[in-house]
Structure 1
Amino acid sequence: MANAYGGPVRLVLFDVDGVLTDGTLHIGAEGEVIKSFNAKDGVAVALLKAHGIRCGIVSGKASAALDYRVRQLKLDLAVTGCHDKLAAYADLKRELGLNDEQIVFVGDDVIDLPVMQQVSLSYAPADAHALVRNRATHVTRANGGQGVAREVAEHLLQLGGLDLEDAYAPLLAEWCCHDAQQ
């Protein structure tokens, strides 16, 4: 099956801490940061990409662990150490020639609100800050770091007219071609 997704979304941007992780930072004596990511979210990236939807992160923090995960998942875009997410969003939108209706943002904390209010479709994890949950278009059942991206990917593809069988068909038929990392 070719890309059967019929929705307008062409890019999904994720915050990292509190969305792709539970927000916990493990910091060693030498200052190295260790983050725990959920394998379900790696499949979500492969799923979205299989339907022609780019994936990226916009994170307030930068770390070697995050850089490794970005490379592992072959994310299309990564903005890290970003304190003005709205400016980063505007730059990405302009560089990619996209409009607000074509971009989804997933955030969990108040720093994410300006971008979430700009896009037409936004998601927040179940344990996001109350202001973020109240302003998000959708709130996931999953908490941050517990498969939020997977839930967003499936919901988004269903909004685009696919049932779960059709959504996963490209991955199941050609898993090796998508080089999915969990």
Structure 2
Amino acid sequence: MAVPQPEASARATRVRLMIFDVDGVLTDGGLMFTGSGDTMKVFNSLDGHGAKLLREAGIDTAIITGRRSEIVAVRAKELRITHLYQGVEDKRVAFAQLLAETGTTADECGYMGDDWPDLAVMLQCGFAAAPANAHPDVLERAHWVASARGGHGAVREVTDLILRAQGRYDALLAAACAPHAGQ
């Protein structure tokens, strides 16, 4: 995991809503197509659990993605990500809608993206993160960069950073380690 700089940790303490791109962030960016033209994507279970931990800690989550895919809707539902924007040409428009919908300020938002279409929103957010294999222009502008590649644990790294910065990580870990009642 990348060592968070003090500024990145300070910015992470303010995150009330964490937003993710899909291709290159929640997935490795590869696209597989079936013979009938359906798209297949591979998601990382560690990343998914990280999104669930954010929700458990009271941090809202959202997806803003340029592509439209039924599998993304299924994954968002599975992770209980209620704010899903797909087929978005201008992510700034979806971001403005998301802020209005949630009553969150841009400074209270985090965004993890990997390519140019993500930059306009990343630059508005209080905390901008990128996977290790993001485009160089994105890496240059991110407040924090994961050591993992997109689709290979980068989302989990950023969720752990946020939870640690907000002092919630240890309690969530202790709850996971506690024996269940009745055992």
Residue of structure 2 in register with 1:18 after alignment: 24
Residue of structure 2 in register with 1:81 after alignment: 87
Q: Which amino acid aligns with 2:136?
A: A
Residue of structure 2 in register with 1:145 after alignment: 151
After superposition, the Cα gap between the structure-2 partners of 1:58 and 1:171, relative to the gap in structure 1 and judged at 3 Å, is farther
Q: Which amino acid aligns with 1:156?
A: I
Question: Given the alignment, which residue of 47, 57, 62 partners 1:56?
Answer: 62
Question: Given the alignment, which residue of 97, 100, 103 partners 1:97?
Answer: 103
What is the distance in 1 between the residues matched to 2:23 and 2:127? 20
Residue of structure 2 in register with 1:165 after alignment: 170
Q: Which amino acid aligns with 1:166?
A: A
> Percent identity, aligned pairs only?
38
TM-score, with structure 1 as normaliser: 0.87
- The offset of 1:109, in angstroms, is 0.3
- The offset of 1:170, in angstroms, is 4.3
After superposition, the Cα gap between the structure-2 partners of 1:56 and 1:169, relative to the gap in structure 1 and judged at 3 Å, is farther
What is the distance in 1 between the residues matched to 2:179 and 2:81? 19
Q: Conserved in 2, the CA contact under 8 Å of 1:47 and 1:168?
A: no
SS at match of 2:18: strand
- The offset of 1:102, in angstroms, is 1.1
The size of the alignment, in residue pairs, is: 169
After superposition, the Cα gap between the structure-2 partners of 1:149 and 1:101, relative to the gap in structure 1 and judged at 3 Å, is same
Q: Which amino acid aligns with 1:127?
A: N
What is the distance in 1 between the residues matched to 2:153 and 2:65? 18
TM-score, with structure 2 as normaliser: 0.87
Cα RMSD of the aligned pairs, angstroms, is 1.8
Q: Conserved in 1, the CA contact under 8 Å of 2:15 and 2:126?
A: no
- The offset of 1:173, in angstroms, is 5.2
- Unpaired segments ≥5 residues, structure 2: 1-11
Q: Which amino acid aligns with 2:162?
A: L
What is the distance in 1 between the residues matched to 2:59 and 2:31? 29
Q: Which amino acid aligns with 1:144?
A: G
Q: Alpha-carbon deviations, 1:68-103, whole Å to 9, x = none?
A: 111111112100010110111011111211111211
- Unpaired segments ≥5 residues, structure 1: 1-5, 176-182
